[in-house]
Amino acid sequence: MARKKQAEKHGDIVLPNGIDVDLDQAWAKLIENQFPGSAGRGFGELIQNFLDSYPAATPWEERSGEIASGTDWISITDHGEGMDRNRLALLVTLGGTDKNHDNSKIGTFGVGFFSIFNPKLGTRRVRLVTQCEGRTVEMVFQVTEPGKRPRISTKVLKKKISFSTRIKVTFSDPDAVKLCLKHADRCLRYYPCAVTINGAPHESVWQQAQQDGAIMFEEGNCHGFIQKENWISNTTVLCKYEFLVQTRFRTLLTGGRRMKYDLRDYRRASMPFIDDHCYTINCNDLSVTISRDSFTMDSAYDAMIASLTRVLTRELGNRLSQSFSVPLVAANQYTLIGKLHDYFHSTNFNKQTDPDIRQVIQFLAQAKIYRFNGRRRYFSLQDIFEMKSEGIPLFYSPRQTNLHWLGGNFKHDFIVLPPECRIGRGAPDLFDVIFDVLFKDVVNLDKIDQQTDRLNQLIKSGIIDKESLQPRVEFQGERELTKEEKTFLEELNAFFSLPSILKVIADNLYLPVREIKTVFFDIRDQKAVIATGLFDGEGKALAESANCNLNVQDADGNQERKDNRNIVLGLHRGHELIKSMINNDDPYRLYFALPILAHELALCQKQLVPYSAGYHLVKERLASDMRQALMAHLLTERKAA
């Protein structure tokens, strides 16, 4: 029965003044809801108690026991230390345990034994016989009503026993025996102890792994083995050899948080990548949750990951020494980039690094997997490090899409061509990370055309010449134009003579414009897709330095404004957009053509002067203001008509 609640009267109000426990409700919820999944897990708690019955110093392989079963019963026998009076008292106390401060024990919370009374099992009777301080003690738990606390009786037996403790459970449902045997098989699968089930020795995964030639390891707080398999959930995690979870190795590394599902997950943990392997890992120090199906990512977890890193780094060395793999080398240069950095830049690397790990990092540094553009032989990171000139960036091109950048007209030692690396799903920044961490001053030619700030740095340091970045354009004279092209230019020039249009361009592009003249041009650089652009009177594309309506200082420090200038608006007559405008016979074609040109203008100017960041920021506003100015002009014309 539930205890009477503690309360205190305050006038005509009665309020609680203490904490009480409804034992009947607590018992019912505990025995049925303690563990998710099969009710057979309750028998697994008895297996854990059998293993904990041995002194901590007893090797797991020497902990023996027997499981037997009949039609409606199952028993488990151990040969450990038995149970003294204190342990028997704790056994029948909710939350009672002497294991919570003993890291060698599996049990922690003092509630696992009660799960064998789960109503889903139909438990009728539990009989415990144990050696207790030189005597044989029997304790019987008789279930009178499912879900209710059992009636307990104890007595001292005169008969001596040859074992330490035996627990026999009798069920009203014979299927409960099958559930318990099934869970016992799964539970004992991971314990490296000597157990028989109905007389037959039970083989653990540890015995199977040794027979199959798996790689066994003991490192720090970890004991485990590695097998050459290829499963999705390729990692089994144990604590004190109790099964906790089966998951992906990358999930173990990241805790399932912010996963990228590629080599970036391994790099976050500085973990070597080895493909086609499965792992079984036991860590005795993990902080296990009360449901015993997960663990917290605390310092014990960090220590486990560190141990695994050392184990897998050595295994990586064995793998590479047996079979050289270019993708595997590249993948691990990425995941172990921190150690590679220390190899090249830290004077204490040789002193502070484990010799086996140092050998692997040295192998990765000296593996010849890189080519140089125009050369046949292969080079290593060590070679690149020694051959690179001081003050010259390292140029590389993973996709090899821009090997003839600027026609080779820039200062460089060589262009590195990295190998393809797709194992472990690769990583989008793989070689960017490797080269940036090791060499700092680097240029990815595949991306450089879109990196305005980096282009300006290269110009400032004298690596490239500003003029070499601009596509070469040639203005077309009037004799080379068709009648339609001449007519189109005349219409444009008429519009650009309007003060309202000049003001829109001047205000948006910060260009003090006196006059705008339109011409057609052809472009020699076939890769550049340019419809239009702004040029000065000498035919050079305008950069931000031409934005001269801003106040500047003269030699004496006084503010002055530069004079307005003539601007040339170039149209690429080979571009499909320009050709469609020329061939359109709509009398109002310029009213929709000019806003489109205004939008394109900023984008194209970015290609003409790639080191300038200003024009693309104003394209939408320029097009909008141009549209408003044209509408106002159109309305004025109609009123005049």
Q: Where a domain ends, among 179, 203, 227?
A: 203
Are both 379 and 446 inside the same structural domain?
A: yes
How many residues would you count in the chain? 641
Are the C-beta atoms of residues 361 and 336 closer than 8 Å to each other?
yes
Residues 536 and 565: beta-carbon distance below 8 Å: yes
CATH at residue 222? 3.30.230
pLDDT at 368: 97
Q: Tell whether 11 is covered by a domain.
A: no
Which of 203, 231, 255 is at the close of a domain? 203
* Whether 192 and 214 share a structural domain: no
Q: What pLDDT shows up at residue 561?
A: 44
**What does the alpha-carbon distance between residue 268 and residue 601 come to, in Å, rounded to a whole number?**
43
For residues 385 and 363, membership in a common domain is answered with yes
User: Is residue 582 in some structural domain?
Assistant: yes
Series of mean pLDDT values for 10-residue runs along the chain (641 residues): 56 66 71 66 84 85 92 93 86 63 52 79 92 92 88 92 93 91 89 92 92 92 88 86 90 91 95 92 87 83 93 93 94 96 88 85 96 95 96 96 86 96 94 96 92 89 82 82 90 85 74 80 68 75 50 48 70 85 84 72 59 51 70 71 60
pTM score over 0.85: no
**178/310 same-domain check:** no
User: Among 100, 92, 98, 102, which residue's Cα sits nearest to residue 152?
Assistant: 92
Are the CB atoms for 279 and 288 separated by under 8 Å? no
* Gap between the Cα atoms of 188 and 200, Å rounded: 13
Residues 173 and 187 in one domain: yes
Of 203, 222, 257, at which residue does a domain stop?
A: 203
Residue 9 lies in a domain: no
- Cα→Cα distances 100→96, 106, 288, 451, Å: 9, 9, 12, 59
Residue 232: CA atoms inside 13 Å, Cβ hemisphere, count? 1
Cβ-based neighbour number of residue 350 at 10 Å: 12
Same domain, 307 and 350: no
- Do 276 and 425 share a structural domain? no
Domain limits for position 280: 206-320
Asked if residue 2 is part of any domain, the answer here is: no
- Whether 337 and 444 share a structural domain: yes
| Structure tokens that stand for 4 in this block | 């009477």
CB of 108 closer than 8 Å to CB of 202? no
- Quick one: tokens of 26? 């607590």
Does 5 map to a domain?
Answer: no
Whether residue 357 sits in one domain with residue 309: no
Q: Is residue 564 located within the same domain as residue 426?
A: no
Q: Is residue 486 part of a domain?
A: yes
Same domain, 280 and 391: no
Distance, in Å, from the CA atom of 464 to the CA atom of 456, rounded to the nearest integer, reads 9
In this prediction, residue 551 carries a pLDDT of: 38
Q: What does the DSSP 8-state code read for residue 326?
A: H
Q: How far apart are CA 603 and CA 600, in angstroms?
A: 5
Q: Say if CB 190 and CB 242 are below 8 A apart.
A: yes
Residues 464 and 477 in one domain: no
| DSSP letter (8 states) at residue 511 | -
